[in-house]
Structure 1
Amino acid sequence: MKFDWPYFWESLLSPSPQFLSGLALTVIISVVAMALALLLGLVIALMGRSRFLPFQLFASLYIWVIRGTPLLVQLVIIYTGFAAAGIFRFEDTDVLGSLIKGAVQAAIIGLMLNESAYISEIVRSGLESVDRGQNEAALSLGMTPMHSMRKIIVPQAIRIMVPPLGNSFNGLMKSTSILSIIGVSEMFQVGSTMSAATFKVFEIYIVVALYYLLLTTVWTFIQTAIENTLNVRAGLPRAEPVFKRLFGIRSRKQATPAPAIALQPADAA
């Protein structure tokens, strides 16, 4: 089988309206699911830090179940399993004049639930990285726990959380490729349909891969800009340049020699 270069370049540089629609749906699902996952992940993280034991148990159970089961299985249970069991069925819904298919709703919910379990751990680690003495000092000055969290703890924790959260969003975008299992016409599903109709399997899937690469590369630029903004506000060095991140290049910082320890008279003896 010969590689069809003209078809490849045409598909890459002049994609069909169906392919562009799948690309747009991929971006929309990724952004909406990530936004909802951030909110739910924050709630789960705060429940895990709560002094109320049932909240702690629920957060631990939620993270254990979600992180311990595959996303593919979760999607099938949410979309197909619940409907088969008569628990809940996702129906096509009109929102502000736009028809949102049931499969798209299930995809957003599934990605949100899956990603929130990981985000909750990122948020928890970020909050715990801030020295507790700062919270105690804020409370001693008369701040409420909520005010201290919002004004003192969260602004410092956000800078620490941005890199792992950005990586999570990167992974979420790539995870949308499995949404075809529940019939979502995202970019991978459209590519699969095109390859089946034209028998240009290799050409189409390379185009799909390159567009996923484009999405993740664009996000890398955005993430780097966000990190640089936060670092500048905190008076810290700028993040690694984008091209170094893309190609896995890291600057090698020279290790600072440990200061010599002067011997005390007692030690010298």
Structure 2
Amino acid sequence: MQADSGWQPARSGRGLLPVTSAPRPSDKPDYPWWLLAAGAIALFLAVQIAVNDLYSQIFSIVSRGVWITIFVTLVGFSFATGLGLLLAVMGLSRFLVLRQVARFYVEIIRGIPILVLLFYIAFVGAPGFVAAWNALASPLIEAGLLSEMKVRDVSLLWRAIIALTIGYSAFISEVFRAGILSVDEGQIEAAKALGLSPFQRFRFIVLPQAIRTILPPLGNDFIAMIKDSSLVSVLGVADLTQMGKVYASGSFRFFETYSIVAYVYLLLTVGLSLALRALEKRLRRAEAERSANG
């Protein structure tokens, strides 16, 4: 056998390559030197914020937008996850119409940049929605039961959240679809044999097993949304980026201001990334223990 002779087919298919027993780079212990370097930079900036009046003032002003950033990310990602799951289920439906509608939505939305989608929802979608609402509610408006809706009644904050929801739901639906398809078909057939309904099969068999595949890319999308939430500043929403932009344009302290803005974003994204890695390791350890005991 080739494995016994110490040779195996080359990946290119053009010959044989020797198999060595030397460990691959990925097999070596991965010491977090990058984390130590990042921690040193973060500590340096934290000291600057504590002892330097200018950095302290910038941080106090910029940090007012952190809660808007967190709110936009949490609400937008929650809505996008729910819509993405719905689209994934539609895409795997046995009904052709549902599959085609889901595929149309995903392919079209994924081809539009988030910034363009943000402008479209804010300045085209919102006025269109208001016009349609007023047209449908015109009898009630004429009767004095409802007041006519104005475009300004739809806040820019919620326009931004809707745009992020629509944009990210297309990507998240593909994550869910891949996770659902990764579940072994035998598990589903066994659930059918036990008499479980389609919803019960999805709830108790498919989704719990798919979560292990879904969690890492879903976490990456959440981190990406934290960064893309900075795009809402183009609408004047007072998030982290917008607060930094306003201060920098008034004080001309661009280096100091955007250093603090980048610092806060890194605290959010790197901290969340480390938390997700720890969660993944814990889930793998729990799965290994279940396999060993079962």
TM-score range, shorter chain: 0.7 to 0.9
**Is 1:130 matched with 2:183?**
yes
Aligned to 2:75: 32
Residue 249 (structure 2) aligns with: 196
Question: Counterpart of 2:288 in 1: which secondary structure?
Answer: coil
1:11 and 1:234 map into 2 onto residues whose CA distance is 50
Describe the superposition over 1:116-170 as per-residue Cα deviations: whole angstroms up to 9, x where unpaired: 1000000000010111111011101211121111111111110111100011011
Residues 179-190 of structure 1: pairs in structure 2 closer than 5 A: 179-190=232-243
Q: What displacement does 1:236 show?
A: 6.4
Residues 62 and 244, structure 2, Cα contact 8 Å, conserved in 1: yes
**Could you tell me the TM-score, scaled by structure 2's length?**
0.71
2:118 is aligned to 75
Structure 2 CA distance for partners of 1:230 and 1:13, relative to 1, 3 Å: farther
Q: Which has the larger radius of gyration?
A: 2
The code of the aligned residue for 1:132 comes to E
- Code of the residue aligned with 2:93 in structure 1: it is S
Q: Which amino acid aligns with 1:19?
A: V
Contact 2:58-2:257 within 8 A present in 1 as well: no
Matches within 5 A, 1:152-191: 152-191=205-244
1 CA distance for matches of 2:204 and 2:54? 50
- In the TM superposition, residue 232 of structure 1 has moved relative to its aligned partner by 3.0
User: For the residues of structure 2 that align with 1:29 and 1:160, how far apart are their CA atoms?
Assistant: 26
Q: Matched residues, percent identical?
A: 36
Aligned AA for 1:24?
W
Shift of 1:20: 2.0
Match of 2:197 among 123, 144, 153: 144
Deviation sequence 1:196-253 (CA, Å, 0-9, x none): 111101111111111111110111132123223322332269xxxxxxxxxxxxxxxx
Instruction: State the alpha-carbon separation in 1 of the partners of residues 233 and 90 from structure 2.
Output: 33
Aligned-pair distance for 1:82?
2.8
Alpha-carbon distance in structure 2 between the residues aligned to 1:179 and 1:12: 24
Aligned counterpart, 1:66: 109
Alignment of 1:230 with 2:283, yes or no, is: yes
Mapped partners of 1:47, 1:189: distance in 2: 38
Shift of 1:52: 1.1
Does structure 1 residue 52 correspond to structure 2 residue 95? yes
Root-mean-square deviation (CA, aligned residues, Å) is 2.4
Q: CA deviation at 1:55?
A: 0.8
Whether contact under 8 Å (1:122, 1:161) holds in the other structure is yes
Aligned match of 1:95: none
Q: Deviations over 1:33-58 (max 9, x none)?
A: 11111100000000000111111111
- Go from structure 1 to structure 2 and tell me whether the alpha carbon gap of 1:90 and 1:22 turns closer, same or farther (over 3 Å shift): farther
Q: Is the 8 A contact 1:75 1:110 kept in 2?
A: yes
Which range is displaced more, 77-86 or 204-213? Answer: 77-86
How far apart are 1:174 and its partner, in Å?
Answer: 0.4
1:56-97 deviation digits (Å, cap 9, x = unpaired): 1110110011100111111111111234554576645xxxxx
Quote the Cα distance in structure 2 between the aligned partners of 1:202 and 1:225.
34
Question: CA 1:191/1:181 → structure 2, altered by over 3 Å: closer, same or farther?
Answer: same
8 A Cα contact 1:79 1:90, kept in partner = no
Match of 1:214 in 2: 267
In structure 1, C-alpha distance between the alignment counterparts of 2:57 and 2:284, rounded to whole Å: 39
- Letter aligned with residue 123 of structure 1: F
How far apart, in 1, do the equivalents of 2:273 and 2:105 lie?
30
Cα shift at 1:11? 5.4
